[in-house]
Structure 1
Amino acid sequence: MNGALRAGVIDVHAHWLPRDLLALPPGNPLGGMHDRDGELFLGRAPLGFPTAAMTDVDTVVADTRKAGLGARVVSAPPFAFPVHAPAEADEYIASYNAQLAAAVADTDGVLVGLGLVRLDDVDAARRELTEIAAAQGVAGVAVPPVVDGRSLDRDAPREILGIAAELGLSVLVHPMQLPRTEWDHHYLVNLIGNPVESTTAVAAVVLGGVLEELPSLRICFVHGGGCAPSLLGRWGHGWRSRGDVRRGSTRPPAESFSLLYFDTITHDPDVLELLRAHASPERIVCGSDYPFDMAQPDPVGFPLGRGIDAGALEANGRRFLGLTPMDASR
């Protein structure tokens, strides 16, 4: 990543989208996002926060400082992932990435960006990722955990992870709230769906040998990795017991798990402790999910209150972003 970053704890998981892109990419089934009297809606559903918190850079910067953070990494909300009609989304992706670079450049090191990329076309993705790698203040991309029913260990998404690793770009994996009939009430599409999507992607990367092929890949899973910390022992048993589980990887799941980054949004101190028991202490990073209603309201205080050092969170965030000591000196 080009450019310096403000000192302090880095929130790697927050969202921003310019107003002119609220309609969302071509083919989206959600009706787009829109402002109604200062509040942001997704289709007919209110999102529960001011439109400015998603779209206005000055508001995001002010809220970042108010939260006691040094810096915040912003990416598009998952509704804006170009997955429904990707071949028609090139203009949307290019506009988002260009506006993102311009927006973070004017924040004096408070904001860092993660761009959008097509996940269906490797050649198109290489062009987009090459442009992102040259952009000031943009460290990588945010991607969904599942594309067309498959996760990150297969087909184009796996090749695209390889390009990101080759270019030194960070990858944040964010769930999309994929609908299922049994999750159509109680907000289960988020409360269950989001963790399950993240868990699926963690399993795919770990059991698919992705980091064995791409040891330099910096990849972070939000919401504490979903259910993955509680399932790691089960995966390890399956890896030792079954050839079909072992087929994609040469090392036990726990070994690869320790090479992944995870944010601290667990909403439960005991779950955060479970994550800490399995993840590397150098790969746990601060997250907030700003500005959504499921966000961690005190992104700094929550991990600090559970014994995670602020200096470690800052160092881990910089490590995930690929910052060198010279970049970090500001």
Structure 2
Amino acid sequence: MISAPLAEGVIDVHAHWLPTELFHLPPGAPYGHMHDRDGELHLGDIPLSIPTRAMSDVPAILKDMRTAGVGVRVLSAPPFAFPVGSVPGAGEYATAFNDALSAVVSDAGGRLVGLGMVSLGDADEARAQMERLTRTGGIAGIAIPPLLAGRSLDRGTLRHILADAADLDLAVLVHPMQLPRPEWSEHYLSNLIGNPVESATAVAALVLGGVKEELPRLRICFVHGGGCAPGLLGRWTHGWHTRADVRRHSTRPPEEVFGELFFDSVTHDPGLLGLLTAQASKDAIVCGSDYPFDMAQQDPVGFATDHGPDARTLTANARAFLGL
């Protein structure tokens, strides 16, 4: 629940934070624990190429915001901290994160907003956690992965979570988890290809699965510009018109529903952001940074305003997504 007024300026909806006391990650997490090595953050044996303090140090976050010209930053957990398994202790981890996040954003004078986490292995537990988040200071919604146990947003637990988020008026940010595959084991392809593919899969599931049609009040944002989705929208629409199996769960063509979703500006490609803006409408684009990761947009406001909507529109869109 956001009660205090936000600071002035462009809102960055896509940034990450995790307190050091939760670096051990939730039970069942697919990677090793986060830890520090000579000031650099590691995930198991994988170097994350960022200073350890950048993930948990609020003064560092606020300093980066001033440098980047960001007025408000929306913080969510890094995706490898999502409680994905039905493992004892996952719910306690989510609660600990949500409490710590609320304390940080509530003490930031309107410069920070939070997106909480929920237990992804139990839809009923997730519902109870979301109900609690509606009463938690500084929290506007939740962050979830695009895939879970071989399913996306149109089936299973994630589908239940979206319905509950819409019912409870919580914003939903969808962030890929960089799931490993053997063919992506080199060249950082699990990120460079895997993340965009995960996001595009979730957009397709939402659009072709009729989820947004069933949940018109759902406010949902896909990071990294929706991944591959802008380049595939024409193909999806063609398939919807020509194949009955593509359109069996939806009554409207993908290009219509696409314009009712939110997407952040982290595309690393001016042409792609221009295409996304044309497809989704300027009212659907919000500023994102992916702070503090190595794939972050270094000048998030400048990139978004140079190649997408102006600052006033970006801010209005973010407020709409957050439900303000």
TM-score range, shorter chain: over 0.9
Q: How many Å apart are 1:242 and its aligned residue?
A: 0.9
1:231-270 equivalences in 2 (<5 Å): 231-270=232-271
Q: Paired residue for 1:52?
A: 53
| AA partner of residue 36 (structure 1) | R
% identical aligned pairs: 64
1:265-280 equivalences in 2 (<5 Å): 265-280=266-281
- Contact persistence 2:72–2:113 (CA under 8 A): yes
Looking at structure 1, the residues matched to 174 and 77 of structure 2 have their Cα atoms a distance apart, in angstroms, of 12
Q: Paired residue for 1:80?
A: 81
Looking at structure 1, the residues matched to 120 and 323 of structure 2 have their Cα atoms a distance apart, in angstroms, of 22
Looking at structure 1, the residues matched to 95 and 115 of structure 2 have their Cα atoms a distance apart, in angstroms, of 13
3-state secondary structure, aligned to 1:305 = helix
1:183-198 equivalences in 2 (<5 Å): 183-198=184-199
Looking at structure 1, the residues matched to 76 and 200 of structure 2 have their Cα atoms a distance apart, in angstroms, of 20
CA RMSD of aligned residues (A): 1.0
Q: How many Å apart are 1:206 and its aligned residue?
A: 0.3
- Contact persistence 1:22–1:33 (CA under 8 A): yes
Q: Paired residue for 1:2?
A: 2
Q: Paired residue for 1:106?
A: 107
Answer with 307-316 or 93-102: which moved more: 307-316
| AA partner of residue 186 (structure 1) | H
* CA displacement 1:9-68 (0-9 Å, x = unmatched): 000000000000001111223211011222211112221111111011121122112210
* CA displacement 1:86-126 (0-9 Å, x = unmatched): 44301101100000000111110111000111223221011
* CA displacement 1:241-274 (0-9 Å, x = unmatched): 1111111101011111000000001101011111
| AA partner of residue 319 (structure 2) | R
Looking at structure 2, the residues matched to 5 and 86 of structure 1 have their Cα atoms a distance apart, in angstroms, of 37
Q: How many Å apart are 1:295 and its aligned residue?
A: 0.3
| AA partner of residue 68 (structure 2) | A
Looking at structure 2, the residues matched to 232 and 45 of structure 1 have their Cα atoms a distance apart, in angstroms, of 34
Q: Does 1:35 align with 2:36?
A: yes
Q: Does 1:300 align with 2:301?
A: yes
Looking at structure 1, the residues matched to 222 and 195 of structure 2 have their Cα atoms a distance apart, in angstroms, of 11
Q: Paired residue for 1:327?
A: none
Looking at structure 1, the residues matched to 245 and 89 of structure 2 have their Cα atoms a distance apart, in angstroms, of 37
Q: Paired residue for 2:175?
A: 174
Q: Paired residue for 1:326?
A: none
Higher RCO structure (Cα 8 Å, ≥6 apart): 1
Answer with 81-90 or 39-48: which moved more: 81-90
Looking at structure 2, the residues matched to 252 and 313 of structure 1 have their Cα atoms a distance apart, in angstroms, of 26
Looking at structure 1, the residues matched to 181 and 242 of structure 2 have their Cα atoms a distance apart, in angstroms, of 31
Answer with 280-289 or 302-311: which moved more: 302-311
3-state secondary structure, aligned to 2:141 = strand
- Contact persistence 2:86–2:120 (CA under 8 A): no
| AA partner of residue 70 (structure 2) | L
3-state secondary structure, aligned to 2:134 = helix
Looking at structure 1, the residues matched to 86 and 306 of structure 2 have their Cα atoms a distance apart, in angstroms, of 44
Identify unmatched segments of 5+ residues in structure 1: 324-330
| AA partner of residue 73 (structure 1) | V
Identify unmatched segments of 5+ residues in structure 2: none
- Contact persistence 1:151–1:157 (CA under 8 A): yes
The aligned length equals: 323
- Contact persistence 1:61–1:107 (CA under 8 A): no
Q: How many Å apart are 1:85 and its aligned residue?
A: 4.2
- Contact persistence 1:164–1:171 (CA under 8 A): yes
Looking at structure 1, the residues matched to 308 and 316 of structure 2 have their Cα atoms a distance apart, in angstroms, of 16
| AA partner of residue 2 (structure 1) | I
Q: Paired residue for 2:226?
A: 225
Q: How many Å apart are 1:280 and its aligned residue?
A: 2.1
- Contact persistence 1:173–1:222 (CA under 8 A): yes
TM-score with structure 2 setting the length: 0.98
Q: Paired residue for 1:328?
A: none
| AA partner of residue 310 (structure 1) | A
Looking at structure 2, the residues matched to 272 and 69 of structure 1 have their Cα atoms a distance apart, in angstroms, of 19
Q: Paired residue for 2:203?
A: 202
Looking at structure 2, the residues matched to 145 and 27 of structure 1 have their Cα atoms a distance apart, in angstroms, of 18
- Contact persistence 1:2–1:134 (CA under 8 A): no
Answer with 188-197 or 116-125: which moved more: 116-125
Answer with 43-52 or 64-73: which moved more: 43-52
Looking at structure 2, the residues matched to 6 and 310 of structure 1 have their Cα atoms a distance apart, in angstroms, of 14
1:86-97 equivalences in 2 (<5 Å): 86-97=87-98
